[in-house]
A and B are shown apart, each in its own frame.
Chain A
Amino acid sequence: MSENVLCVEHVTMQFGGVVAVNDLSLEVNQGEIVALIGPNGAGKTTAFNCITGVYEPTNGKVDFMGAPMVENFPQGNMKKMYLGEHNGDYTRKLNPTPDRITRLGIARTFQNIRLFSALTVFENVLIAKHMRARQNFLSATFRLNWAEERRMRRETMELLERQGMTHLKDERAANLPYGIQRRLEIARALATEPKLLLLDEPAAGMNPQETQELTDFIRQIREEHNLSIFMIEHHMDLVMQISDRIYVLDFGKLIAEGTPSEVQNNQRVIDAYLGVADDAEN
């Protein structure tokens, strides 16, 4: 039951002399909703980018469904500049491009929405089906893939129906209200048929009511698509309500992990969020 889906092991991401993510290790199990929280600039999105192949981590390893997916160790100039730990533990360079990772079954949304804004809602979702199709450009041009094309369109329609977006299908994505854009981005990610969904601040800019709707929506898609969900979020209501476990990141380092109630009462987390009066301690 508690099958391990994502396992991040000692991942460090260093830009020049700045360590953005420092020795991060975490796990997401089958069917779990896990949240990654932390103050602004803690390195949460960088961590996401390391998992999804946008960046190659400087050191460390990421396993997906029990198989190694990303792995790297300090090379070239970085050998001398590396400031993190576990130097030498990893010796393999494995960094697939983001599209390969999506193919493996990890889909994501973006902090600042990245829809194909000139295209319609329907096309936005349909594009996600492209990757799993067996056609090539000749068969697609000469319409020899009509059966597959029809299936892709049908599945897209079904997905939009389930999200209650059928009536919007011919709208340009750019013309949608903000909240719907967020949901469309999630729908588009779901269309890639992921096993793990990464949400980068899904509730950013939403009012309490929209946040509540989103909470239900996330629960619903987990059930319907048999997903594990890993998300970055600042809305504590949302995080505390639906997360099974929470990881807290501060200055690139993991400072706490546990169930919502454990994290809520963790002194280091409170310090990180509220700030510590350094001189008062001395």
Chain B
Amino acid sequence: MEMSQNKDMIILDNLSKHYGTKKAVDGISLSVKEGEMLALLGVNGAGKSTTIKMLSCLTKPSGGTAKIDGHDVSKEQTLVKEIVGISTQDTAIARNLTVEENLSFMAGIYLDPKSYDKKARRERVEEILQDFKLDEVRKTKSSKLSGGWQRRLSIAMAMIGNPKVILLDEPTLGLDVLARRELWREIEKIKKNRTIILTTHYMEEAEALADKIAIMINGKIVMAGTLEELEEKTGQKGLENIFVSVAEGDRA
């Protein structure tokens, strides 16, 4: 995957989503450069998942624009869907299919048969099985996998189409510390050459993985930047302290 330096891959401009009178996302603006990982940090109900849903064309914005690689998520959904991979908050796997069948199915959906014949699709599945160390459970029914394995499979499924952009919605939610660390290593691996937005409410996760962090509170991005920039802006050390000071400041 070729990368042009400093190109904005994702641009949100005054993006908002209203459900009746409730403002789930309230006019957020930010940009994510190609190859960068942005962590959207916030408590439950902050608007992180709604933002991901808008970026993955699952819900239409009520206002503003969101562009991915220059394509508007409201107007060019087909083009956006081809370059975006998503791993949703729930694992979103076909539970009666084996790991290998889930990946083959997604390969059939995402890989264009003109460029990927049956053999090439099989090779891509093999590659992903190896990359994500899923080989040992390839014949296991997905419903029989542990939470950690299911999350890993979910991310592997998002990766099958070799997307330019990956959206990871709470990828480690509900996992124990060991499974979470294991998944962090997988996310670190896919980070290379890809633009990623990760939502999380685990401070240490955002700190460990992201290049940039955006703090969302009540549908608004109240602060964004690198960890160093956030520390400088708030005068606090560590993301947890930064988050608490920003959240309490917002409440006050």
Instruction: Note whether A and B form a binding pair.
Output: no
Tell me the A residues contacting B by CB distance below 8 Å.
none
Q: Which residues of B contact A (CB under 8 A)?
A: none
